[in-house]
Structure 1
Amino acid sequence: MTAGLLLGAADRLPAASLAAAAQPMAGMLPLSPGLVLLAMPEVPGLARPAEAVLHGPAGALRPPLSWQGLTVGEERLHLLLARAQPGLAPGADLTLLGPDRGHHAVGLRETADAVALLGTAEPGPLLALLRFIAGKALGIFRAGEDPALAAACGRLAAAAARAAARPAEPAARCGPEALLWSLPPGLPAGPHLLLGPRRLRRVALAGETAILPETGASEAWLVPPQGEALVLLPAVRARLPGLVQLARGRDARARALHAAAQAELLRRAPAEPAMGRLLRDQQLLAPPARIRQHAAPGEPFGAGLDLAVPDHAGGLFLRGWLRDPLGLIASLTLCSPYGEQRLPQAALLRFPRPDLVKEYAGAPHGGADARAGFALHLPEGAPHPAAQWRLRLGLTTGEQVTLTAPPGLLHPQAAREAILSAIAPAHATPVLMAEAIAPPVGRLHALVMAGRGAPEVIRMGLPVRDPAAAVIVPLYRNLRFLRTQLGAFARDPGLREVELIYVLDSPEQRDEVEHLLRGLHRLHDLPLTLVIQPRNYGYGAACHAGAAEARAPVLLLLNSDVVPAARGWLKPMLTALRRQPKLAAVGPKLLFEDGSLQHAGLYFLQMPGEAEWFNDHYFKGHPRHFPAAQVARRVPGITGAAFCVRAEAWRAVGGISTDYVIGDYEDSDLCLRLRADGGEIGYVPTAELFHFERQSIRDHGGYAKSLAATYNRGLHHRRWAPDIAALMARHAGAGGR
């Protein structure tokens, strides 16, 4: 059969008869409900049909249109791929308007399949047709997800391959949607077409193993960019091992396949998030190596790698120790499954380890240096997720000793807290904080905040119709004052006109808190809203979650350990905001349990020998009725323990910052942002409340004994130091500090 037989199975004419016919005929093959393929012979008087304008019975054919020339035997065909549209139907005529304005009519006849369309079953023309269809479908036609087209391409591949297809062998399952294949040798590296049963894709091959999308219990085809050797991916019905099972395999072939899979994952992970996740996940499931230190007191040197924690953004935090009184350690090399990197000892940031000094005080070859600990952040040290890291010590004798860290591929929140707890606050120098602690903590904290889930909201009672304010109370574990606080609200007529919103930041207490609040709601007949965070995200995130549920024009952020000293405490703050439009926020007088002053406005100071600004409160420790604390005035800031802010001003600056870990300095940060937006901050002494200070935060294991406060202070200082200096210069005359 020749290329000239384009009239379909019912009306086959010799090539000479076709050439003599008054009207050329084009074969037509529907590929799917959305795409159709035409094959035209040479049209007399029209050397290049691709330069013609096509018209059908319904008018000009709509783009996209794609042409491809193809030689079959001794004849030349012109292939046209187009979207199905009115006029492209068997029996219709196409009119080709050539560059010379000449009109050329071509009739359309449907053909049964690609072999009938081309008039040949030779692999070469069929493969050229297949590459043309699939390539254009994945390009200008964006039809890779068309299942009918994918099925048509699969039939065409089967016809082109015939007995010459080379089968691949499935080797392992790579997650729920991909398989590892062992491919026939000799395939070229680079892009191939993958013809699945329901979709078309391009995949880049780099060797004789490949991770390819799952195609289910159906065969699929790999089409190389050139040549006639297609690769058959047979239907997979047998149970396959996973990557971790390959890693545990004892035979050499399983280990080789696992190594090839790791290389494939490493190659593709930077551009394909799914491969990066698979790389991480199989690392997490791999059996951990035994933790190894070199710590015997009788040895002439010692070392340990206590932490090797990726920061989930390509960096790595290290903490360890070295005891080398005789200078035996000549080199340090950090090792992972993906490579090695040298660590100059001079790059290690050293800090005291009194425990090691004590432990090795009687060591026969010498004890530990006072600064035996080291920490380091390598910003690009972990481009790929490794579950465990090793540190190889090269000795002056040529021997080597390898240390193994505990598994460090942690959830971002756990990794953040591990780094913040890695060094005692007393030993954290500014350099160590700036270079080793702050960079990975900042990366991890941003990831934690970006991954916040939606909270659960429970409403109790009918909401207040037009609330004057919304009181937002974050709760974290400490419930000791909840009954007292809510009872004081219930006895205050002014609190009957506000929204009461409690935000639970310790979701493990959900049932206990809901039960308690429902009982208090029934007891006091106060409408309440309970917002339950999916994880502990800290004070700032809890305030945002509460503010999102508020309708009132004023927001009052109130700690759970703050209790009113008397009724009527809220009205003076609302009055100050109403009468002084310049005020964006106001704060009350806060008292210690013994009645002395805890807060009469917030200001900033620098401690002797310290570069960073600290937060402090005016008149702290003075008597309750200290005269200077009885005066309403503008102040540099107010505490977040009781922070009354206009909702409009809150929204204008984006609310309270969630960049601070757990809680600290976000209240003064909000004051400074309100000021930068043109607002002022006021102190209202006639609003009095007791503050049983820091009752919740001391229960937080990730904060109380960690570097979180130091980190937050450093972040606050870097962000606001010039503004604070100018602000405190204007408030230099304020006394009573």
Structure 2
Amino acid sequence: MMRLDPQDRRSARGMALFPGKTLNPLDTAIASFGNGEAAKVDRCVRVGNLALISGWTTAAPDIAIRGTFFSQRYPREDVEREIGPAGSGFLKACHLPGPARHLDLQLRVGRQRYRSRIEISDDPAIIEALGIEQQALLPELWAAAQQILPETATALSQVFRLTMPAAAGGEPLVVNEKTAAAEHQPAMPLKAESQTPPSAAAAIDEIIQIGQSGFLVVGWCITTEPATAKLLLTFHPQAEVDLLDDAYRVARPDLVDALGPMIRTQAAQAGFLSYVRSPSEQAPLNLSVRFELEGSSIEMPPLPTVKRFDHPIDATHELLKHFHPGGQEMLTLLDHQLGPAIANLPFRHSGDTQSELIRFGEAPAEPKVSLIVPLYGRYDFVEFQLSQFANDPDFHTAVDLIYVLDDPRLSEGFRDCCAAVAPIYEVPFSALLSRDHLGYAGANNLGVAQARADLLILLNSDVIPSQSGWVTAMLERFQAHPDCGALGVRLLYPDDALQHDGMLFKRLPSLGNLWINDHPGKGLPAMPVDPEQALVPVAAATAACLMLRKADLLSIGGLDEGYIIGDFEDSDLCLALRQQGKRSYVARDVQLYHLERQSQALFADRNWRDKITVYNCWRHSRKWDALISQLCAAEAL
């Protein structure tokens, strides 16, 4: 489900409707008309020769678009939560006369008229962001398109898999109640030949390979005897598994149009996702599916082509398109299907990758601290940091500075950058170039392996010191507390608002009560530091700037590289240290500026990136639920 950003609503209060402005469909401003009336276009995407437009409005506004042939409103829980019961979502479709790049809209509120223009996206990833409610409207949209735009109706079938699986590469299997003979049905649309639904029907829509011997299988199965039905995936003659056993079941309203209204009740749980693994990774795989029901056994038609991906990150894109954050069903899907599947993707780790170390300048012979800065997507912050480090004596006498490039695409440019800035700022540092993209935890672990000091500082590339001497200040406070396992600092936004002053754990009901990392006071003015409260114990501290012992980090196996890209590794680290009797502190009188998530902002697909964050949150909660619950209970006493 698409979620409403309350920040957008507050900031747009009193706006007219963006006159004459071209809007990005994924980041469209909210139009507020006064009297509590508002509207927002969330997405506009091309499918064939039509455009799909989705968004929400309150009761009064009406959005008119030339060429519209389909328009439906539907309940949106997120809109009702933020706006009230008058809010609802809409899905519209209009015919495109040619290769148009923009759509002109007219918004009508009573007698008022507003005009606007929105950009049409050709990115198919936007389609995946359609909410559950909108997907339920797609069969009606398909029927409307079929009447006036038959070619586009076919495109809709393929893009949305409105599916009989013929649109996704497979064929449906229908088992006749009396003869148990397989009948092949034509492609969408399918109509039931009588008012009596088939005894059983099934199809495989999609198969995604996970590692050497794992598969996520997506399909559907309808039967009047669900307890006795089996859909057996055969890996090789001696190994098979029932896809319906412990599968995650989903609604498939498209099947009602395909097979008739008599199966409406069964369609509510007809779809399934099933993660399965071959018992043997060595045996050659020869996949086939057999349908069993009441003693009858029938081979399914040829399966769709198995999807294989060269890089695990690409596989997560495909896997997470089946995932919509929120609620208990999300947890069930992650616990039993998507979580194990993603965990078994063959990501490269710091221990099995190659790297190249290049030194610039003469590093301190016996450094007190090794400072590790991972880089991904950009390296321009290196010069900003070096310009500040150059005026700090610690970086000439006590700091072993290591930049870790975790983006092989940028290797050549990064080499040139280092060679250019090293003689300008005369700060000795090492450049460590990874041959693989490892993610935040892996990049730090790679740097730790090269660290020469007993103490470490993990530092983000977008953290800039406000004054010199901060490394020595951290060192003094860390060494003054023998029970300190991790020491963070106060981080500020460029406008001096508070960004980090320690973390707390709290449950988030909208994410199935998973534990999230909460930053108290974030965004508020940073209050003056009370000398008596300059060093405070915290539940966890961010690794945007974090000091710890190298031996402690190695004793827990380094940062956990099971988190994808970068989220929750720092709180995971603090909890692992706490399990060993080490506490986390924040030195509030040591302050640095943090621009925050500058590398992660480079990901074009924000919908996928947000889903990765939810996956990491789920993984973190499942790993540390008992310890976090114990710490929160003790805090409440």
Common fold, TM-score beyond 0.5? Answer: yes
Deviations 1:328-350 (A, max 9, x none): 99652324454673636463212
Deviations 1:446-504 (A, max 9, x none): x7438722321111121122323221011111335333223222233333331211111
* Contact map agreement 2:529 2:589 (CA 8 A) in 1: no
1:680 positional shift: 2.0
CA distance in 2, matches of 1:417, 1:391: 25
Task: Find 2:189's aligned residue among 293, 297, 300.
Answer: 297
CA distance in 2, matches of 1:659, 1:607: 22
Go from structure 1 to structure 2 and tell me whether the alpha carbon gap of 1:457 and 1:377 turns closer, same or farther (over 3 Å shift).
Answer: same
Q: SS of the counterpart of 2:325?
A: helix
Q: SS of the counterpart of 1:297?
A: coil
* Contact map agreement 2:395 2:428 (CA 8 A) in 1: no
Equivalence for 1:441:
342
Deviations 1:156-187 (A, max 9, x none): xxxxxxxxxxxxxxxxxxxxxxxxxxxxxxxx
Task: Find 2:353's aligned residue among 453, 462, 483.
Answer: 453
Equivalence for 2:440:
539
- Whether 1:723 aligns to 2:601 is no
> How many residues align structurally?
437
Go from structure 1 to structure 2 and tell me whether the alpha carbon gap of 1:438 and 1:414 turns closer, same or farther (over 3 Å shift).
Answer: same
1:364 positional shift: 6.8
Query: In structure 1, what residue type is equivalent to 2:525?
Result: P
Q: SS of the counterpart of 1:575?
A: helix
- Whether 1:710 aligns to 2:627 is no
TM-score, with length taken from structure 1: 0.53
Equivalence for 1:90:
none
- Whether 1:350 aligns to 2:249 is yes
1:420 positional shift: 4.7
Task: Find 1:641's aligned residue among 540, 544, 551.
Answer: 544
Go from structure 1 to structure 2 and tell me whether the alpha carbon gap of 1:433 and 1:666 turns closer, same or farther (over 3 Å shift).
Answer: same
* Contact map agreement 2:191 2:257 (CA 8 A) in 1: no
Deviations 1:214-271 (A, max 9, x none): xxxxxxxxxxxxxxxxxxxxxxxxxxxxxxxxxxxxxxxxxxxxxxxxxxxxxxxxxx
1:416 positional shift: 5.8
Show the 5 A alignment for 1:425-440. 425-426=324-325, 429-440=330-341
CA distance in 2, matches of 1:650, 1:345: 43
Task: Find 1:622's aligned residue among 512, 520, 524.
Answer: 524
CA distance in 2, matches of 1:705, 1:637: 27
Go from structure 1 to structure 2 and tell me whether the alpha carbon gap of 1:468 and 1:643 turns closer, same or farther (over 3 Å shift).
Answer: same
* Contact map agreement 1:305 1:391 (CA 8 A) in 2: no
TM-score, with length taken from structure 2: 0.60
Go from structure 1 to structure 2 and tell me whether the alpha carbon gap of 1:647 and 1:343 turns closer, same or farther (over 3 Å shift).
Answer: closer
1:587 positional shift: 0.5
Task: Find 2:215's aligned residue among 298, 314, 317.
Answer: 317
Equivalence for 1:76:
none
Show the 5 A alignment for 1:217-256. none
CA distance in 2, matches of 1:293, 1:698: 41
Structure 2: runs of 5+ lacking an equivalent:
1-167, 173-186, 193-200
Go from structure 1 to structure 2 and tell me whether the alpha carbon gap of 1:527 and 1:723 turns closer, same or farther (over 3 Å shift).
Answer: same
Query: In structure 1, what residue type is equivalent to 2:523?
Result: G
1:434 positional shift: 1.3
Structure 1: runs of 5+ lacking an equivalent:
1-289
Go from structure 1 to structure 2 and tell me whether the alpha carbon gap of 1:704 and 1:463 turns closer, same or farther (over 3 Å shift).
Answer: farther
Equivalence for 1:492:
392
* Contact map agreement 1:463 1:527 (CA 8 A) in 2: yes
Deviations 1:356-378 (A, max 9, x none): 75x67854725984665421122
Query: In structure 1, what residue type is equivalent to 2:496?
Result: G
Q: Which has the larger radius of gyration?
A: 1
Show the 5 A alignment for 1:54-93. none
Deviations 1:265-299 (A, max 9, x none): xxxxxxxxxxxxxxxxxxxxxxxxx9435452225
1:408 positional shift: 4.1
CA distance in 1, matches of 2:297, 2:550: 68
Go from structure 1 to structure 2 and tell me whether the alpha carbon gap of 1:578 and 1:340 turns closer, same or farther (over 3 Å shift).
Answer: closer
Equivalence for 2:462:
561
CA RMSD between the two structures: 3.6
1:723 positional shift: 1.9
Equivalence for 2:535:
632
Task: Find 1:378's aligned residue among 276, 283, 293.
Answer: 276
Show the 5 A alignment for 1:252-651. 291-294=169-172, 296-298=188-190, 300=192, 303-312=203-212, 314=213, 316-322=214-220, 324=222, 331-336=230-235, 338=237, 341=240, 343=242, 345=244, 347-351=246-250, 357=253, 363=258, 365-366=260-261, 369=267, 373-380=271-278, 383-384=281-282, 389-392=287-290, 401-408=300-307, 410=309, 413=312, 417=316, 420-426=319-325, 429-444=330-345, 448-449=348-349, 452-497=352-397, 498-608=399-509, 610-625=512-527, 631-651=534-554
Equivalence for 2:130:
none
Query: In structure 2, what residue type is equivalent to 1:545?
Result: L
Go from structure 1 to structure 2 and tell me whether the alpha carbon gap of 1:292 and 1:414 turns closer, same or farther (over 3 Å shift).
Answer: farther
Equivalence for 1:117:
none
- Whether 1:656 aligns to 2:559 is yes
Query: In structure 2, what residue type is equivalent to 1:619?
Result: G
1:327 positional shift: 9.1
Go from structure 1 to structure 2 and tell me whether the alpha carbon gap of 1:347 and 1:657 turns closer, same or farther (over 3 Å shift).
Answer: closer
CA distance in 1, matches of 2:503, 2:566: 16
1:684 positional shift: 0.8
* Contact map agreement 1:472 1:503 (CA 8 A) in 2: yes
Deviations 1:578-627 (A, max 9, x none): 32232222101112344321110112112237443221223222212266
CA distance in 1, matches of 2:345, 2:311: 5
Q: SS of the counterpart of 1:673?
A: helix
Deviations 1:379-410 (A, max 9, x none): 44564566774445579998764252333455
Q: SS of the counterpart of 2:608?
A: coil
Go from structure 1 to structure 2 and tell me whether the alpha carbon gap of 1:571 and 1:421 turns closer, same or farther (over 3 Å shift).
Answer: same
Which one scores higher on RCO, CA 8 angstroms, separation ≥ 6?
2
CA distance in 2, matches of 1:719, 1:681: 19
1:571 positional shift: 2.9
Equivalence for 1:11:
none
CA distance in 2, matches of 1:730, 1:400: 58
Go from structure 1 to structure 2 and tell me whether the alpha carbon gap of 1:661 and 1:547 turns closer, same or farther (over 3 Å shift).
Answer: same
1:510 positional shift: 0.7
Go from structure 1 to structure 2 and tell me whether the alpha carbon gap of 1:698 and 1:637 turns closer, same or farther (over 3 Å shift).
Answer: same
Go from structure 1 to structure 2 and tell me whether the alpha carbon gap of 1:451 and 1:524 turns closer, same or farther (over 3 Å shift).
Answer: closer
CA distance in 2, matches of 1:619, 1:628: 16
Name whichever of 464-473 and 416-425 sits farther off. Answer: 416-425
1:421 positional shift: 2.5
